[in-house]
Structure 1
Amino acid sequence: MSAHMSPEEFRRHGRQVVDWIADYLAEVESHPVRSRAEPGEVRRALPDAAPEHGEPFEAVLADVERIILPGLTHWQHPSFFGYFPANTSGPAILGDLLSAGLGVQGMMWVTSPACTELETVVVDWLAGLLGLPGRFRTDGPGGGVIQDSASSASLIALLAALHRASGGRVAAEGLRGRHTLYVSSQTHSALEKAARIAGLGSANVRVVDVDPGTLAMDPAALRALLARDRAEGAVPAMVCATVGTTATTAVDPVAAIGEVCREHGVWLHVDAAYAGVAAICPELRGLNDGVAEYADSYATNPHKWLLTTFDCGLLWVGDRAPLLGALSVLPEFLRNAASAGGSVVDYRDWQVPLGRRFRALKLWAVLRWYGAEGLRAHIRAGVALAAELADRVAADPEFVLFERPRLGLVCFRPAWPGLPAEDADRATLRLMETLNAGGALFLTHARAGGRVVLRMAIGGTATERRHVEQAWDHVRREHSALKVLMR
């Protein structure tokens, strides 16, 4: 076997892989949604050492079928309702394939001008589709960049915020004194992790009270906490407002929070990882009220609900100067005339790693294949199916709807009449495990209003009304069976 795969061999095996993926997506519904593999099962099925001699690619595909596939939880299954969608689609897959085939390392403009400039175009396109302010465009004072996820976007925003809050001293001298980050109990855990990585530590992550009904951050509580911390000598660095929390898709009041941030001169980051892309629909653009006036940075993930294969998270900043000040390090081997001239974007300065993939290709492919109209239709379909499911839950006396869904997530729990709250929560979790173990659907849970609720996140690429109806029927059947066992 030759050391390298020839173009003709690549053509033949590439067709096999594309056919395999097409068959997988066509037949994914036939698989149990959650893998039934036991811990260590996949590892035991693989050799202890790498092969000494090369093997035919057919053997690789055969082991994908035999070993890998049974060890997968199928995120593209139309009855996958857990977490949030992690959608892929045909154009996104092909865009990723083009990226892999070109093998571009797009750390700077000069290393591949098209990699950089296509990215500036697609982030500006999406900023326009979401109704984001002009200062977030790359031809304005700020700009956008594709990160791997909203977790990285949060870290980058925090580093930029620390740079601004310290007058630029953090980059050169490290943290001096106490800097603080403000979140709510509903904020994603990625923000605490960002604080740890940035050197603030978990103790300086300040948790702001939420409205007990909506679970949205309380601006008055934020104002009081900021004032108290400043009086004690802390330097508030950043407030994170969430548009669409992980647990229940609660929406923090960005405008009111922004007013408080402006009073105290604090960076406002808006984490809209799941919900932000929904603003592509004009009727849902109210999700971003206050962003244009107050947000210093904004993040959303096309790889969740916008049909773009993971990983593809977008971050915009209203002013790129603090970001570049925090992250730009220029060794001699990276110096070049284009960068020195200041007329190009070098995205190496907008992220933690030096190297970067050509992620813009898959997002570009998705935007061009579906167009704004097609993407809006996908979002609206998920919202409509969630509303229908919520109607079914609300009409069933055996279940309690947490609140009317605004987007594609429905949170509910069995009523469990007569059971103490702790016992009822344990029964709800038992029901979820029973449902997931059966393989017909997959859902996850959260704690809302002090109680465990089941989460059904609707919006998968292939999810149709029948899948939602079948899932609800399955929930009701398993609930009835569990009630009999518990008598």
Structure 2
Amino acid sequence: MTPEQFRQAGYAVVDWIADYWASLAQRPVTSQGPPGAVAAGLPAGPPAGGEPVEAVLADLDKLVAPGLTHWQHPGFFGYFPANTSGPSVLGDLVSAGLGVQGMLWSTGPACTELETVMLDWLAEAMDLPARFRSAGRGGGVIQDSASSATLVATLVAVHRAAGGRWREVGVDRRYRVYTSTEAHSSVEKAARIAGLGAEGVRLVEVDPQSRAMSPVALRAAIEADRAAGVVPALVVATVGTTSTTAIDPLPQIGPICAEHGVFLHVDAAYAGAAAVCPELRFGHAGLEYADSYCFDPHKWLLTGFDCDAFWVADSTELVEALTVLPEYLRNAASESGAVIDYRDWQVPLGRRFRALKLWFVLRWYGVEGLREHIRSGVALAARFADRVRADERFELVTPHPYGLVCFRLRGADGPNEQLLSAVNGSGRVYLTHTRVAGRYTLRLAVGAPQTAEAHVDEAWELLSRVAETVG
């Protein structure tokens, strides 16, 4: 493909994406085809000769788009948002076009330095503690997801708990990770990958009302393990849990970690984005105790997947835990100590130029534009919660500090399961569920870029109407 052929094909692809976004509200939120339908529509083997881009776009229309769950749809209220936006897509396009491999500063100086500055920009926009800024011992890096950030935090925590000898002696099962019963499954997965096994994670009980980690239970667990000869290595606290957006009490958890010398990682994958709004920074109270912190701009901050922002208070111990330096990666810039090599801040060696899409987003929207997006989601969630609260058939199950509302029909689980199935089967909206204190609970998460009052109202009217037919 010559540059001129690329230019023409690129125009066609951009037009296709723009048309897709413009037509989202008219599409079903989820695929209406059975399993295997997309695969059955594809040829049995690759083409012998090349095909024009127009043929590929035609099959996007015919096969791919109808077989998708449309996460950008204004009626998508499932899981958490997975935003993208025009600026983000353009940034990814430039990244793909440049084809930079940013493993070392020397393999892409601008790739490294732009990323460092973007993480400092984000830290300023969210008013994160100064210890996370690159001007000191700390700094930020883009991981692919909060799951990877948790894995990195786990490896660094075990390295610290082992007295810096983890790389030499490996890991035994004496180390323990603590997190709440509401925490993300990535905590257990990280412990397994780190060699601690599933038994290396101790789940800490939560307050039955707030669903947040109990500091009393955390202290008791740490003290019991120490008495038994187990080394407490890591506490993972959550700001905005996946099920209900519960907020673990960092002002109480932090001093416990400091007292016992335990590494504290704060996972704010979803809710961290809200901190661009000063009035929504309540979840960050006590963040000054954290050794590391992460959130996903690719959830609620208009930046396409994959983009997790991960900060550490001390980058030295991070590099010590993860660095492996073969001869073929040695270079003068790295040995000078004057540059950052982000290969040492993550598990894989290679890395894309992900900072570009963040740069495009921050420059297009500005902090005020991002605040407007977050505030809109919070207001729409509150609007929906008001409808639930006013209907005696329904109940709100937990508080809704951000853009997620957890609710259910009063009574047994069965009608709630039927309600969710029927509503999702309409093709107009898509919700997911969880269990809160054992009860089947519906989740409505606001955050798709095109979602407006009319879409939230449509979701409520549909739920209200279908509720008359279940049970």
Partner of residue 260 from structure 1, selected from 244, 256, 259: 256
Return the match for 1:368 from 356, 363, 372.
Answer: 363
Match of 2:217? 221
Asked if 2 retains the 8 angstrom alpha-carbon contact of 1:387 and 1:404, the reply is: no
Structure 2 residue aligned with 1:62, among 58, 61, 66?
58
Decide which of 13, 20, 36 is 1:40's aligned counterpart. 36
Q: Is the 8 A contact 1:142 1:316 kept in 2?
A: yes
Q: 1 CA distance for matches of 2:99 and 2:147?
A: 25
Which amino acid is 1:67 matched to? Answer: L
Following TM superposition, by how much is the alpha carbon of 1:403 offset from its aligned partner in structure 2, in angstroms? 3.0
Task: Give me the TM-score of the superposition, normalised by structure 1.
Answer: 0.95
Q: Does 1:329 align with 2:349?
A: no
CA contact (8 A) 2:144 2:308 kept: yes
**For residues 261-300 of structure 1, what are the structure 2 equivalents within 5 Å?**
261-292=257-288, 294-300=289-295
- Give the match for residue 421 of structure 2: 433
- CA distance in 2 between counterparts of 1:13 and 1:37 reads 29
Residue deviations 1:114-149, cap 9 Å, x none? 000000000000011111111111121011000111
Summarize deviations over 1:405-458 as a string: whole Å, max 9, x none.
111001100114xxxxxxx21321121111112101000001113211100001
Matched, 1:147 2:154: no
Distance 1:322 1:306 in 2: 29
Identify the match of residue 446 of structure 1 among 434, 440, 461: 434
State the match for 2:388 in structure 1: 393
SS in 1 for 2:24: helix
Separation (CA, whole Å) in 2 of partners of 1:409 and 1:176: 40
Distance in 1, matches of 2:222 and 2:316, equals 25
Query: Residue 111 of structure 1 aligns with which residue?
Result: 107
TM-score (norm 2): 0.99
Preserved CA contact (<8 Å) 2:210 2:399:
no
Q: 5 Å matches for 1:156-195?
A: 156-195=152-191
User: Could you say what secondary structure the match of 1:111 adopts?
Assistant: coil
- 2:203 is paired with a residue of what secondary structure? strand
Supply the distance in 1 between the matched residues of 2:456 and 2:399 (Cα, whole angstroms). 17
Aligned counterpart, 2:192: 196
Q: Residue in 2 aligned with 1:7?
A: 3
In 1: Cα distance, 2:36 partner to 2:321 partner: 42
Distance 1:157 1:35 in 2: 37
Unmatched 5+ residue regions in structure 2?
A: none
Q: Tell me how far apart the structure 2 counterparts of residues 395 and 250 of structure 1 sit (CA, whole Å).
A: 23
- Cα contact 2:157–2:233 (8 A) shared by 1: yes
- The answer for unaligned runs of 5 or more in structure 1 is 417-423
Cα shift readout 1:14-67 (whole Å, capped 9, x = no counterpart): 000000000000111111001122111111111222222222221111111111
Match of 2:469 in 1: 481
Asked whether the equivalents of residues 173 and 200 of structure 2 are also in contact (C-alpha less than 8 Å), the reply is: no
SS at match of 2:95: helix
- 2:311 aligns with 316
| SS of match in other structure, 2:178 | strand
- Does the aligned pair in 1 maintain the 2:74–2:448 contact within 8 Å? yes
2:236 to 234, 240, 252: 240
Deviation at 1:177, TM superposition (A): 4.4
Distance, in Å, in 2 between the alignment partners of 1:429 and 1:257 is 36
User: Which residue of structure 1 aligns with residue 79 of structure 2?
Assistant: 83
1:322, 1:162 → 2: CA distance?
Answer: 11
Cα displacement (A) at 1:159: 0.6
The separation in 2 between residues aligned to 1:177 and 1:391, in whole angstroms, is 49
Q: Give 1:171 shift.
A: 1.3
Q: Which segments of structure 1 move beyond 3 Å, counting only runs of 4 or more? A: none
Partner residue in 2 for 1:353: 348
Q: CA deviation at 1:285?
A: 1.3
1:455 equivalent to 2:443? Answer yes
Answer yes or no: is the 8 Å Cα contact 2:271–2:402 preserved in 1. yes
What secondary structure is seen at the aligned counterpart in 1 of 2:395?
strand
1:468 aligns with 2:456: yes
Give the superposition deviation at 1:287.
1.2
- For the residue of structure 2 that corresponds to 1:238, the secondary structure is strand
Aligned length: 471
